[in-house]
Amino acid sequence: MALIVIEGLDGAGKSTQIDLLTKYLKSKLIPCHFLHFPRVDAPFFGELIARFLRGDLGSIDRVDPYVVALLYASDRMDAAPLLRQWLASSHVVLLDRYVYSNVAFQCAKLSNTNEVNRLRDWILQLEFDYYAIPKPDLNIFLDVPFDFTRQRLTEQRTGDSRHYLQGKDDIHEKDLSFQEKVRDIYLQQQQFDSNFVVLNCTDSSGQMLKPEAISAMILHEIVDRSLINI
């Protein structure tokens, strides 16, 4: 039926929005499925991604972003048959991160504009053309107040979804200046893709909007594009 991606910085509340959207779709009897990328528990690529995020392969500036991009893209290539199966069954597929996460996090490691554009084009060609993974019908970037992101990332984050770090810090999350660069790359995406939408998640006082308000904006974007019938 539709492939919908929720993007955002680490700690932006993507999982919360996926949960709210899933509950809404189920309440309307609309079949849906969810995947989170990267799949650190997936065989073969997952463990290598987990090692990278733990810093076992080196610091952010020591590992070639093309190599990292290839690793993340390969995880999605491995999951593509499942995505196609769901979509062929006319189900809504919700993804927490997808190709534009790869673009944002890898391009943020480069300072030269030409190099950034070259890597962006290479990633998009690799994932959508060479690996031929499904293209999203809608990508939504949650642009939250950076103070909120800073607070979330400086708090101790625990839970089963964090076990892959084995007690270590995520090398992407611990560098706040890097997260700001990632945001800048994300915001540029709307210049290149009409299916990439930036949602301003800040209220008039500069505070984070309530999850329910953000969820309503997401649903509006989905319905406005006729991706679901309600």
pLDDT in tens, 47-94: 999 888 888 888 888 899 999 999 999 999 999 999 999 999 999 999
Mean confidence (pLDDT) of the chain: 90
Beta strands per DSSP E along 97-188: 138-143
Which class for 157: exposed (0-12), middle (13-18), buried (19 or more C-beta within 10 A)? middle
Query: Where exactly are the structural domains of the chain?
Result: 2-224
The CATH number of the structural domain formed by 2-224 is: 3.40.50.300
- pLDDT for 164 equals 47
pTM over 0.75: yes
Q: Which single residue is written with the structure tokens 């309440």?
A: 27
H runs (alpha helix) in 89-193: 99-107, 113-124, 146-154, 176-188
More confident residue, 220 or 156: 220
Of 100-114, 127-141, 169-183, which gets the smallest average pLDDT? 169-183
Task: Determine how many CB atoms are found less than 10 A away from the CB of residue 58.
Answer: 11
pLDDT in tens, 155-206: 654 544 445 444 445 555 557 888 899 999 999 999 999 999 999 999 999 8
Amino acid letter, residue 123: I
Q: What are phi and psi of 120, to 5 degrees?
A: -55, -50
- 162/169 Cα distance (integer angstroms): 10
pLDDT in tens, 14-48: 999 999 999 999 999 999 999 999 999 898 899 99
